[in-house]
Structure 1
């Protein structure tokens, strides 16, 4: 849920003559929410008690997916939509994402919305913002992303599920090939490795901190890429994470 100060700043932009479209692009707030705030700026109270937090391996996995390819948006008639973008090339990922959403919020319906090359696993609830307090206006890499203490406790308890969610959203397993001359004959060798790619320094740090705790060696490949290439570390990743499928 957007706080009152965010609502005031957003409406101030409208008052300065900016269109709803331009304000929505600048703030990440939907036009329908801005229109609603022009009628009532104070956040409404949810008549149902908010669950406040979640736990378990399904939540740890869904948290990784959300930080990578998820978003939460307010709906015109109230409530929020959680959307996780899953590439159609990996139907197993779509199934796993839907299973995690259902496990975290068993009382809410889950649907799949197909777009070009992508399926949005979508679920509606009043409680998504409190379950994912990293929700806010703007892109994740343009604002600070920090886990709440209760979320960090879930990650500490289920670190592999969290890493699996991050890799399945913004990561990949690739195989590098090289040829060496052995006893005068060329031999082809394969070197599997994992990558995690995200523009947010905070989210990359959440990934690498968890890898450190798991004893997985990693290196920064470039400004946005984390690489896991050592044989024993790749073996661990293969055992507990695995490639998208």
Structure 2
């Protein structure tokens, strides 16, 4: 499995407003999906000593797990995999729900010779929950677009009003650039639209309003909710002023 800061060869993503999790032909309701992801987030605590996920994820004992879905095993740049994991990838192992659940259930049995010293989650419901949680950090083509590809994302009438002291936080554009690596895995820093609306040249206040709407769950996208929840007010402000300066 994989985890770090800057990604290459990552499956281009389309963020989803409902992000239904399909498993064995079934599609979960929004409530059931949220409950499954919540359970998975608790199970992930068993993984945190080796793996990271989220906007600030970096390689640790194990690789970071952002954008793992659709990636061939043992290929994430910047991490030194075991020979066994690299050979598994060369043999055709690509991480999807089924492959990841199988590996989570029996790491050493799935990839013989792996360095991962985790005994595995034998209960299928636990495997599904953990996979569902990790899936939130790997947006991809299976997700439903939040808006038509050419439509810009605006702070909407349903977004909560923010107090002036939040909107007026002075962000640091240099820090925003540092934080932006997670954003530009999906949103193009060049402003090019490849199925995900551009966020370059957005007015900073609009950016802040949208991110806080995701954080307060007034907007539905679970990936963006997770990203927004992981950022401080100052970090959101820094990202906002950084993207505002891009053309």
The reply to whether TM is greater than 0.5 is no
**Structure in which a larger fraction of residues adopt helix:** 1
Q: What TM-score do you get using the length of structure 1 for normalisation?
A: 0.28
Q: What TM-score do you get using the length of structure 2 for normalisation?
A: 0.28
Structure with larger Rg:
1
**Structure in which a larger fraction of residues adopt strand:** 1
